Amino acid sequence: MSSTHAARRHQRPCSEQLDQDIALSVAVNLSARSLSEPDLVDRVRRALRRHGVPGELLTLELTEGSVIEERVRNGTVLADLHALGLRLSMDDFGTGYSSLSLLRQLPLDELKIDKSFVLGMSTSQNESFIARSIVELAHNLGMRVVAEGVEDEVTRDLLTHMGCDKVQGFLVSRPLPEDRLEGWLLARTGVRTAAPGAVHRRLFVRT
């Protein structure tokens, strides 16, 4: 499935929530091949406009391998996507070959700690140290941090103490089909009052 087809599929529940003045953000994985498509930016722009979804509610997740490719690093595609108002996230961080200088140069908003480090945090000081180092690095570069593969409350509490911004994993929910998503949202999330000047209220997971 192409990146824009995936974006359209995820934007349906997103746009439906917007009809209720609730901002529900979605994330879409973007392959290295998609980043090389010459009309990618235009197609993403058209998809956002078609569904009436503001760019800030769409996050594109990139792999480390895709952003270190010379044509991506030296091109404008990431800056052009970022200019649409959407967020760029580096997925599975820590397993590739990103340099600190590259992280500083790219218009990234978020790093996702690879689950291979997160799964062993509660029993391994080394894994916990790596996770803490990634959190501190990302924050020092002005990025948010998401931890992948969180399956228990001990790990969640460790990440919270480190200042990790968000968690993702079976502790929150297993993957759900679209027809079960609404029920999960109603049962497990709340809605915060819109911030001053904001148009939509935002969802949050109750803890």
Domain extent listing, the chain:
1-89+176-207, 109-172
C-alpha to C-alpha distance for 191 and 23, rounded to whole angstroms: 9
Residue of 150, 154, 113, 153 lying closest to 135 (CA atoms)? 113
Give the pTM.
0.79
Q: Which amino acid is at 136?
A: E
CB 118 within 8 A of CB 150: yes
Run of H or E including 67: helix 64-67
C-alpha to C-alpha distance for 138 and 196, rounded to whole angstroms: 27
Phi, psi dihedrals of residue 4, rounded to the nearest 5°: -75, -30
Run of H or E including 42: helix 40-51
CATH number of 1-89+176-207: 3.20.20.450
Give the Å distances, CA to CA, from 69 to 105, 152, 183. 14, 36, 41
Going residue by residue through the chain, which has 207 residues, state the pLDDT in tens, using 9 for 90 and above. Answer: 344 444 444 445 566 665 556 667 788 998 888 888 889 999 999 999 988 888 888 999 998 777 777 777 777 899 999 999 999 999 888 776 666 777 888 899 999 999 989 998 988 888 899 999 999 999 999 999 999 999 999 999 999 999 999 999 999 888 888 778 777 777 766 666 667 766 666 656 655
